[in-house]
Amino acid sequence: MTSDRPNPERPPDERETPKSNGALLLLIEDESSMQRLLEIVLEDQGYRVIVAGTGKQGIVHVATRNPDLVLLDLGLPDMEGEEVIRRLREWWTRPIVIISARGREEEKVKVLDAGADDYVTKPFDVREMLARIRVALRHSRAQTAPAEAVIEAGSVILDTVLRRVSMEGREIRVTPTEYRLLTLLLKNADRVLTHRQILKDVWGVAYEDQVSILRVTMANLRKKIEKDPSRPLHLKNEPGIGYRFCTGGDNSRGGTLP
C-alpha cells in the first residue's frame, strides 16, 4: 500500500472499530443459509448473536435472554411477523428491526405500526442493515437518557427550550405544525416513521389517515430546510411507507418525491 488516497472500493465500515459494545442480538430467521450469513456478519462487527428458527422460539428467547435488539424475518413457518411483534410489544420495548421481502410495502407499514423500529429489504445491502441496527440501538439507549434541550441532526439544530430551528447558523422560520413535525423527525433521526405514526403524533388520532395534509406540510418544510426541495437530502420519502430524516444527507436512496 503506497497511496494515501482512500480506496473507493473499500466499504466505509471495514476499518472502523466495531461500535457494537458487545450488544446481544436475537436473530429470528428460519432459513439456515441466511442464519449463517447474518451470524458471521454480525459477529464480525462485535455483536453477540443468538438465533431462533421460529416465532415461538424467538419469543421464548426474548423472555429468557432479553437481547438488546431483535432482527426479525417476516417469513416464518409458524407465525406472522406482525403477530410476533404484537406479542413482544405487550411487554418488551427494545428495538425490533424487520427483514422483509422486496415490494411488500403494506406489510412493512403494518409491522412498523405494530411497533417494529425499522426494516431492511431482502436482498439487502449488509452495510445498510448494520446502519439500521446501529441507529435502532442508539435510539434505544437515548430513550433512557434525559431529554435533550437541543437536538442536533446533520446541519439542522432544534432548540426545544426557545422553540427555534436553525441551519448552518441561520434561523429558519417554521409554523407550529412544521415545528412539531420537525421535532418528531429529529427525535427519530435516521429511523423510518410511517405516515400514520407521524399523523397521530403531530395532528392527532383523528387525522391518522390524512396523508395529503402530511404531504403538504412536508413539501413546505422541505422548501425551508432543503437546498433543493425536489432532491431532498434530509427529509426523505420512504415510498408507500412514510418518511425518514437522514442526518448524513445521503442522496443514494429514498430521495423520491413526494
Q: Dihedral (C-alpha) 177, 181, 183, 186: value to the nearest 10 degrees?
A: -160
Give me the least distance between CB of 76 and Ca ion, in Å please. Answer: 6
Q: Which is nearer to Ca ion, 53 or 154 (CB)?
A: 53
Binding residues (CB under 5 A) for Ca ion: these are: 30-31, 73, 75
d(CA 208, CA 57): 34
Q: Which is nearer to Ca ion, 54 or 140 (CB)?
A: 54
Q: Which is nearer to Ca ion, 25 or 153 (CB)?
A: 25
Give me the least distance between CB of 26 and Ca ion, in Å please. Answer: 15
Give me the least distance between CB of 34 and Ca ion, in Å please. Answer: 7
Residue nearest to Ca ion (CB): 75
Q: Is 99 exposed, middle or buried (0-12, 13-18, 19+ CB in 10 A)?
A: buried
Q: How many residues does the chain have?
A: 258
Q: Which is nearer to Ca ion, 78 or 209 (CB)?
A: 78
| H helical segments located in the chain | 32-44, 55-65, 81-89, 105-113, 126-143, 176-187, 195-202, 211-225
Give me the least distance between CB of 30 and Ca ion, in Å please. Answer: 5
Grid cell in block for residue 33 = 443459509
Give me the least distance between CB of 104 and Ca ion, in Å please. Answer: 13
Q: Which is nearer to Ca ion, 96 or 174 (CB)?
A: 96
d(CA 98, CA 71): 6
Q: Is 246 exposed, middle or buried (0-12, 13-18, 19+ CB in 10 A)?
A: buried
Q: Which is nearer to Ca ion, 32 or 175 (CB)?
A: 32
Chain centroid, CA 38 distance in Å? 19
Give me the least distance between CB of 233 and Ca ion, in Å please. Answer: 34
